[in-house]
């Protein structure tokens, strides 16, 4: 876009406006002149994603390159709107940027009969204008006939498309998604299952950031792999290892108070799991994310699914007890507390305190009912 040139070159007879003065070709490459390190970001993250980060107000602070697996390279970045710094593997960083842009919708807008270039820029949206050349799309002309909505001629390689504003916006988003999937498909074929063992060691030490560094790029790659014939053929120990890795990653996100990401990872683990015990454990972790967000009714359903898959652990009954109590189902909560205590939770302070609170709320009738409930879990249904 050229500063000071705001008068479009319009053919009065055809209603065609030349957009050559509006294009922003080469703006991303010029970032290298200001900061030579950007060239390395282009190489390891991808030029479209670095450009998108700039336009979304995300500043890359550092890039730690893993020569063994490029997808495991870690990006440290700052969201300028919040000032908060975060770290993600490069593959997950790309995916989060793309998702953020996909959630954006163009605001309603109209153009005057004789718009200036500034009007057209505002109408299209600055991000669409700037991302178009980065994604290999050249905006050539704007056409408008009579009272019809303006249409934009976009050139890709040797092909031309004529699109309305919203269609152009979606087309650019689809180009970004295509680039993301291309990189994810490449990474899915190089999945390193041995990373799970290293992640388990890091989890035992409570080093959740290391777990994210090792496995944080898995969700995007595994989402793609799950839809392929190669992914469908995986079974047995391979699938179990994948699920173990996803559970570790979900727990790491929970520890970092990133409940949305944790829930997404646990739901992906359910899709990969073919082992009842691992699936039950996944439902328990999903329930935990719901409890953190005070969605206790949903958590009860997930815990019951874990129960139906054979999980009879005291932590499951403890969590059920808490959820029932939060929902005002005190008798069911008390029954779960007793079951959890019998299964080995007698030293769990949370259970002991909950039992005392429920006993106080239910009063003496509960003591008699408790004797009848011994060995009977019918109230949990």
Distance CA 319, CA 312 (A): 12
Residue 232 tokens read as: 């469908």
H-helix segments, the chain: 27-34, 38-44, 47-56, 90-102, 117-124, 126-134, 165-188, 195-204, 208-215, 218-226, 229-233, 236-255, 259-272, 276-292, 296-308, 314-326, 330-340, 349-362, 364-373
For residue 301, count other CB atoms closer than 10 A to its CB: 14
Q: Residues with Cβ < 8 Å from 110, sequence gap 6 or more?
A: 123
Confidence of residue 8 (pLDDT cuts 50, 70, 90): low
More reliable by pLDDT, 95 or 73: 95
pLDDT at 380 over 50: no
User: Which domains, ranges and CATH numbers included, belong to the chain?
Assistant: 9-188 (no CATH), 191-294 (1.25.40), 312-381 (no CATH)
Under a CB-based contact definition with an 8 Å cutoff, are residues 306 and 280 in contact? Answer: yes
Find out whether 171 and 106 touch, Cβ atoms under 8 Å.
no
User: Three-state SS for 256?
Assistant: coil
Q: What is the mean pLDDT of the chain?
A: 84
The confidence score (pLDDT) of residue 269 equals 94
Q: How much is the pLDDT for 3?
A: 47
Model pLDDT, residue 2? 43
Range of lowest pLDDT (24-38, 104-118, 178-192): 178-192
Residue 145 confidence (pLDDT): 78
Percent of the chain exceeding pLDDT 90 equals: 34
Q: How much is the pLDDT for 364? A: 67
Task: Report percent pLDDT > 70 for the chain.
Answer: 87
- Please tell me the predicted confidence (pLDDT) of residue 9: 52
Q: What is the pLDDT of residue 153?
A: 92
Tell whether the model's pLDDT for residue 354 goes beyond 80: yes
């Amino acid at each position: 876009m050229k500063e000071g040139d705001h008068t479009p070159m319009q053919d009065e007879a055809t209603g065609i406006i030349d957009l050559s003065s509006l294009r922003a070709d080469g703006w991303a490459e010029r970032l290298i002149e200001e900061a030579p390190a950007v060239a390395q970001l282009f190489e390891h993250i991808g030029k479209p994603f670095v450009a998108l980060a700039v336009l979304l107000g995300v500043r890359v602070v550092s890039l730690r390159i893993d020569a063994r697996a490029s997808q495991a390279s870690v990006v440290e970045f700052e969201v300028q709107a919040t000032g908060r710094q975060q770290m993600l593997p490069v593959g997950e960083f790309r995916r989060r940027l793309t998702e953020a842009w996909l959630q954006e919708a163009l605001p309603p807008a109209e153009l005057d009969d004789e718009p200036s270039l500034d009007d057209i820029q505002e109408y299209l949206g600055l991000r669409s204008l700037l991302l178009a050349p980065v994604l290999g799309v050249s905006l050539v002309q704007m056409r408008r006939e009579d009272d019809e909505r303006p249409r934009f001629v976009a050139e890709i390689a040797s092909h031309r498309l004529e699109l309305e504003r919203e269609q152009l916006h979606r087309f650019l988003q689809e180009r970004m998604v295509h680039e993301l999937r291309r990189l994810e498909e490449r990474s899915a074929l190089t999945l390193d299952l041995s990373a799970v063992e290293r992640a388990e060691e890091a989890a035992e030490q409570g080093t959740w950031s290391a777990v994210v560094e090792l496995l944080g790029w898995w969700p995007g790659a595994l989402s793609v792999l799950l839809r392929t014939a190669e992914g469908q053929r995986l079974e047995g120990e391979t699938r179990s290892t994948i699920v173990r890795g996803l559970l570790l990653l979900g727990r790491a996100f929970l520890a970092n108070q990133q409940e949305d990401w944790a829930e997404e990872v646990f739901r992906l683990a359910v899709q990969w799991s073919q082992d009842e015990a691992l699936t039950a454990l996944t439902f328990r972790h999903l329930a935990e994310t719901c409890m953190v967000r005070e969605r206790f009714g949903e958590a009860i359903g997930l815990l019951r699914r874990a129960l139906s898959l054979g999980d009879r652990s005291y932590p499951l009954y403890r969590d059920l007890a808490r959820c029932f109590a939060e929902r005002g189902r005190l008798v069911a909560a008390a029954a779960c507390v007793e079951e959890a205590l019998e299964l080995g939770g007698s030293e769990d302070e949370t259970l002991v305190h909950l039992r005392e609170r429920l006993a106080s709320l239910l009063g003496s009738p509960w003591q008699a009912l408790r004797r009848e409930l011994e060995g009977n879990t019918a109230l949990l249904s």
